[in-house]
Structure 1
Amino acid sequence: MDNLIAISEMAKLYGITRQTLIYYDEIGLFKPVQVDEKGYRYYSVRQVPYLREICFLKSIGVGLKDIVEHFRERSASKEMQLLLEQRTKILQELSRLNKLRNSISQRIRLYEQSVEAEAGKLREPFMHTRTPKRVLFKEYVQPINRENLHITVMTLWRQVFQKELVPCSGFGSLFRKDDVLNHQALASAGSCLFLPVWNNDYPESFVLEPCECACMYKYGMPYDTESIEILMDWIDMNGYELCGDILDTCLLDTTFYKDETTMDYCLLEAPVRPKSL
């Protein structure tokens, strides 16, 4: 058995297991040149570069089925095409992972805001500059109640998942300015998901530009408009007027509470400007 390499030595050479080489033999990818009467497999020195190429292709993510097919009629041009296709797949995966990274970062920022917000006082309005938000909106399913609220939100989630986007920027509700001013805040109100501002995959989405807002933390369901009325009274008493749609962002939903809390912890943001003289 001079110039032959035992299976254990060949496996050690490339940092793989004996079981891997046995499997490669079984699927016809890399067969030994000799098998003795005891079933021990041996390889030729000339096979070393072939296994090196197999290990390389596998390390860059090419599937074993494709490697087997490739080695049946291997050529430089065919391998170049295989590598070009694999590079395209990797670039697509990098794009997907980059979106996931951004989504995770947005969820982290949401929880950072939530932790800071828990120190805020309930129902005590304050001024704050709202950051830009991309909104995907859907009017509430009627009649407006807890069950239909969940249905409305999940309809939006399904719409987003169809394009493989993870809506990690949170969710909330939107109340139209004119409806609020007419004391009919729920007339055309609805749920919304917050998407990355840079994402324009949804032509029906829109961006809420940064602006000065009168804000208030509260526990409650979005269809309970008492908090909106409290905030609107404060806006009027402090010399402001509403100049945009009111956003009700859910900071912490009821899944975070171990007690009997049945309401979400939310932030109302009402765009305002000084009253016209």
Structure 2
Amino acid sequence: MKNKEYFSTGEFAKLVNVSKQTLIYYDKYGIFSPMYKDENNFRYYSLSQFEALDTLISLKEMGVPLKEIKEYLSDKDIEGLVELLKNKNEAIKNQINKLRHISNKIENKSLKLEKAIKQRLIKEPYFKRCDPTYILTSSVESKDYKEIMAKIIDFINRCREKEVFDNGNSIGGIIKKEDILNEKFNNINAIYIVIDNKTITDDVNVKPKGIYACINHRGSYDTTHISYKKLIDFIEQSGYEIIGDGYENELIGYLSAQSQEKYLIELSIQVQKIK
């Protein structure tokens, strides 16, 4: 019997892992039809149609409109199909790279927040030895608040455009050694973001290797002067001297803090033991 060589709509639907209603819909609108219909108008499909339907489903999952798929299946244009598949495959690769970048960025954020949770427990100043760190920087020297904010926004957009820099690390501030010594703790000279690798660009600098005196400031940026003074007292009492710039690294900020009073900002200054 001829029907033994073919699959009913329900059987073929199970074989290709789609619903029976999907096959009926495709047939109704001329997108994908059964191999033949019997005198009772029952649909029957052939195993030879499997690859065609599998490709159709893949194209649909890629976002190709059914109208475009229908046009191809009507013309049976093999060159057109090759071009379509290549274009869509390239789009998928780009999307995979984008999703991989987003995944890495989220993972980095998660690790930073886990570190911040531990850092919250450290309430007193401390010393730590740091390896050289590549940072992308941008000068924000200005007395005008709106101009400073415009530069910060421009820096953020530049980081997003170059995904290598948009890595989930928070943007920090740099205060010159001279301003720290003169207690001008609000004079942010530049902003920065830590990057993973050395990249050829004029704006990449290195946070020097060495010993840093650190304190975890709790509260808004407006009150960092309190922690800076405490940190400087700690440096002097420990027999160290300031030899480099100060770095502000936001560990907990707007994303995860209920208010500015809950912010956690690591303040660090490069120091050395007085000989």
Per the shorter chain, which TM-score range?
0.7 to 0.9
Match of 1:42? 43
Q: TM-score, normalised by structure 1?
A: 0.75
Q: Which amino acid aligns with 1:242?
A: I
Kindly report which structure 2 residues correspond to 1:43-62, keeping only aligned pairs within 5 A, or say none: 43-45=44-46, 48-56=47-55, 58-59=57-58, 61-62=61-62
| Distance apart, 1:17 and its partner CA | 0.6
Write out per-residue CA displacement over residues 117-166 of structure 1, whole angstroms, 9 at most, x where no aligned residue.
Answer: 11112xx321112353534445277555xx99877655543443345675
Query: Which stretch shows the higher mean deviation, 133-142 or 15-24?
Result: 133-142
In the TM superposition, what are the counterparts of 1:124-203 in structure 2 within 5 Å?
124-130=124-130, 132=133, 134-137=135-138, 139=140, 142-143=143-144, 154-163=153-162, 166-192=166-192, 194-198=193-197, 200=199
Counterpart of 1:119?
Answer: 121
Distance 2:15 2:33 in 1: 16
From the superposition, tell whether residues 204 and 29 of structure 1 become closer, same or farther in structure 2 (CA, over 3 Å).
farther
Higher helix proportion (structure 1 or 2): 2
- Measure how far apart 1:44 and its partner are: 4.5
Find the residue that maps to 2:115 and give its secondary structure.
Answer: helix
Q: C-alpha separation between the residues in 2 aligned to 1:118 and 1:257?
A: 13
Does the Cα contact within 8 Å between 1:125 and 1:214 map onto a contact in 2? yes
Deviations 1:24-69 (A, max 9, x none): 235533123556787x551342xx3334233146347544435444
Give the Cα–Cα distance (whole angstroms) in 1 for the partners of residues 42 and 64 of structure 2.
Answer: 21
CA contact (8 A) 1:140 1:152 kept: no
Consecutive unaligned residues of structure 1, counting only runs of 5 or more, are none
Please state whether the residue corresponding to 2:214 is helix, strand or coil: strand
Number of equivalent positions = 266
**% identity of equivalent residues:** 21
Unaligned runs of 5+ in 2: none
- The alignment's TM-score, normalised by the length of structure 2, stands at 0.75
Q: Say whether the 8 Å CA contact 2:104–2:167 is kept in structure 1.
A: no
For residue 273 of structure 1, give the secondary structure of its aligned residue in structure 2: strand
- CA distance in structure 2 between the aligned counterparts of 1:180 and 1:213, rounded to whole angstroms: 14
Q: Conserved in 1, the CA contact under 8 Å of 2:140 and 2:148?
A: no
Amino acid at match of 2:90: T
1:101 aligns with 2:103: yes
Pick aligned residue for 1:73 from 76, 80, 103: 76
